[in-house]
Structure 1
Amino acid sequence: MFIIQAIHYNNKTFVSIENTSNGEVSRETVFHYKQQDHIVWADYSGGGILLGHLIGVVDERGTLEMRYHHINEAGELMTGECTSIPEILSDGRMRLYESWQWTCKDQSKGQSIVEEVKEE
């Protein structure tokens, strides 16, 4: 199934601007997104995260349904799932409002916001 959409994530870079205290993503975490058709994936690292990956699907509104995993500085493998809802900012960049849940350890939930890095 091919989905036509106005929002496209390919070659976008995002950084965290807000996260709940039970999250591990910080302002130093950088996400590099790719997209092919309705499949989206990213590599991320920085802050307390040594290496992470996410994979998901995007719908016609630009909403992402994702699964993620990363290794933190303590050497722990962390896993979770996330729904991201996009907002287009006045300067054309994207902001993603995220609701996530760990699928490891305490299974706790959280909220975060990531924002597209403005190209220089």
Structure 2
Amino acid sequence: MSIDYNGRRFRALGVHGGTCAEYSQRDDLVWAVFEGGHIRRGTVTGTCDDRGVLRLAYTMVLETGEVISGHSTNTPRRVGGTLVLHEVWERYGEHAARGVSYLEEVPAEPGEVAR
């Protein structure tokens, strides 16, 4: 599944409002910026392979001032017509943890061009 992530937006599956990341892509390089909820600002940067799998490093600053960093591998799949990323993540350092999350593509607003 070849995917162009440029201009796509994603949020935690089933969560409306809150944190939303808008992705940019040039060739295999992918990056995004996000904020909202308890996150003051966050970024991800990484690569995308021919199947649309993202390998990303991330950092974020929480409202508490804590800085969190880690990496994730996000595998795309279509669920009922929606692009969903199955995200396997790991945090480093003082906040070390591992887990799985799901991110769903945010539909285009009225007047925007849907991808």
Report the TM-score range of the alignment, normalised by the length of the smaller protein: 0.7 to 0.9
Q: Please state how far the C-alpha of 1:94 moved relative to its aligned partner.
A: 1.2
The number of equivalent residue pairs is: 108
TM-score normalised by the chain length of structure 2: 0.87
Asked if 2 retains the 8 angstrom alpha-carbon contact of 1:79 and 1:103, the reply is yes
CA contact (8 A) 2:44 2:58 kept: yes
What secondary structure, in the 3-state scheme, does the structure 2 residue paired with 1:9 have? coil
Larger relative contact order, structure 1 or 2 (CA cutoff 8 Å, min sep 6):
1
Matches within 5 A, 1:39-118: 39-91=29-81, 93-118=82-107
| Structure 1, unaligned runs of 5 or more | 19-25
Note the residue ranges of structure 2 that are not aligned, 5 or more in a row: 110-115
Give 2:76's aligned amino acid. Answer: P
Q: Is the 8 A contact 1:17 1:27 kept in 2?
A: no
Extract structure 1 runs of 4+ deviating beyond 4 A. none
Query: So what's the TM-score if we normalise by structure 1?
Result: 0.83
For the residues of structure 2 that align with 1:31 and 1:58, how far apart are their CA atoms? 16
Deviation at 1:73, TM superposition (A): 0.9
CA-based RMSD: 1.7
- The match for 2:5 among 4, 9, 13 is 9
Cα distance in 2 for partners of 1:102, 1:6 equals: 28
